[in-house]
Amino acid sequence: MPARAPSPGTPALGRRSAALDGLRGVAALSVFGFHAWLYTLPVVRAASGRGAFPGALFAELRIGLVLFFVLSGFLLFRPWVAARSDPARTPRTAVYALHRLARIVPAYYVAILGSVVLLWPLAGEPGVRLPPVGQLPLFLVFAQNLSPQTVLTLDPPMWTLAVEAAFYVVLPLLGWLALRSGPTRARQAIVPCAAIAGGLLFNALLARQEIPGQTLAKSLPAMLPYFALGMLAAVLADRLTPARRTAGWLLAGGVVLVLADGWLHAHAVAGSGLALRLRVVRDLPAAVGFAAIVAVASARPPRALGWRPLAWVGGISYGLYLWHVPVLLALRADGLMPVSPLGALAVGLPVSLLLGWLSWRFVEAPAIAWSRRTTLLGPGVSPPAPRSARTAPAHGRSSAPASRPAPRREAAPPSARR
């Protein structure tokens, strides 16, 4: 995988894929475009402004959230995929947990504090929804989605961080189950396929309620198919490089699925059969498309996704994601932002990018560097097996030499992504 040269002002932490950073940038800009539209509506409610073009187009930019979830599943499951042929690469759970905490918690806490400082004086302004003071501690443990009084309040996009954190907790178990399932690619694919089926069943049960609660609709079981499709892509793409023509068809098919998903949601009339089916399937077509795109971007990176400005945005996408809605709300309340999506993009994006870069430079990068440098919990993979064990077949396959270094793992999005 080609390494990306450091962007100006952005430190290089291990090998990174410019194409995957470019995908993060696409996801972050898509979500920003959605919120630039949403938070300039007279009434801040997506259903009230969707209508025809261009409202329907801006509304469907929310699909960027799905890309963040697919990327997380793909990138974070890869170490367990690699361990299928080399058990010495099996991630140590304690070190994995340390890396995840260092990646998302420090910047997240700083953004919570910043959101309180920016938005608490703006109570009652359009789009500003504040939680009860007594329930602010729920945000500190990623539990804001569990209460109707805190879900989608303060910095609303943070609901996706609660889902990401829940996925981080269950991922080692899913990885263990995948390794126990058998030595072949088909056997390891059983776990993500089961997770997809489980998520669809959960959403089918949820759809039976006339008005699904936000706390259930924004939970890990409801979003699990998106992560699982990223995991499945990691399994199927392991050590495979598609031919150039095949990669082109996969990319084109992925884009078509993403566009088709947006078209279906934009044209689903409330109460229609299509709308009811979409409450179960949700954005699964887009997730399948994104999984194909991510797999190709990892194995045969398209040059366009590695465009340096786009990859730079992807590199700071977590901070951009955390800060952009408080910025939009504060600018609107102070009368500094035109009440139009393009005006919000022109005024709000530079400020949000600056805060995203500051978050990366002074919070995220130091925390990530420390987590990779510290030996507090030992090395990042299980200790090598004794020589006699290394010469024996593992899961029916020969183990790789113990001297082969463990691969560096990509830093995950908010998940970013979202």
Tens of pLDDT, residue by residue, the chain (418 residues) = 333 334 444 444 456 899 999 999 999 999 999 999 999 998 888 766 676 678 788 999 999 999 999 999 999 999 999 998 888 889 999 999 999 999 999 999 999 999 999 999 999 999 999 999 999 999 999 999 999 999 999 999 999 999 999 999 999 999 999 999 988 899 999 999 999 999 999 999 999 876 567 899 999 999 999 999 999 999 999 989 999 999 999 999 999 999 999 999 998 888 888 999 999 999 999 999 999 999 999 999 999 999 999 999 999 999 999 999 999 999 999 999 998 999 999 999 999 999 999 999 999 999 999 999 987 766 554 444 444 433 333 333 333 333 334 444 444 444 444 4
Q: Torsion angle, CA of 291/295/301/302, rounded to 10 degrees?
A: -40
The C-alpha atoms of residue 366 and residue 372 are separated, in whole angstroms, by 10
Contact 268, 109 (CB under 8 A): no
CA distances from 247 to 16, 26, 250 (A): 20, 19, 5
Write out pLDDT tens, residues 161-218: 999 999 999 999 999 999 999 888 999 999 999 999 999 999 999 998 765 678 999 9
What pLDDT does 394 receive? 37
Contact criterion met (CB below 8 Å) for 183 and 396: yes
What are φ and ψ of residue 342, in 5° steps?
-65, -35
- Count of positions (residues) in the chain: 418
Burial track 358-385 (b if 16+ CB lie within 10 A, e otherwise): ebbeebbbebbeebbeeeeeeebbbebe
Residues contacting residue 352 through CB under 8 Å, at least 6 positions apart: 32, 320, 323, 324, 327, 328
pLDDT number for residue 48: 64
Give residue 51's pLDDT: 67
Cβ partners under 8 Å of residue 59, min gap 6 = 34, 37, 38, 46, 49, 50, 266
Rounded-to-integer distance, Cα 342 and Cα 322, Å: 21
Q: What's the pLDDT score for residue 380?
A: 53
For 210-260, write each residue's pLDDT tens digit.
656 789 999 999 999 999 999 999 999 998 999 999 999 999 999 999 999
State how far Cα 372 lies from the chain centre. 21
Q: How far apart are CA 360 and CA 9, in angstroms?
A: 10
pLDDT at 71: 98
43: its two tokens: 């009434």
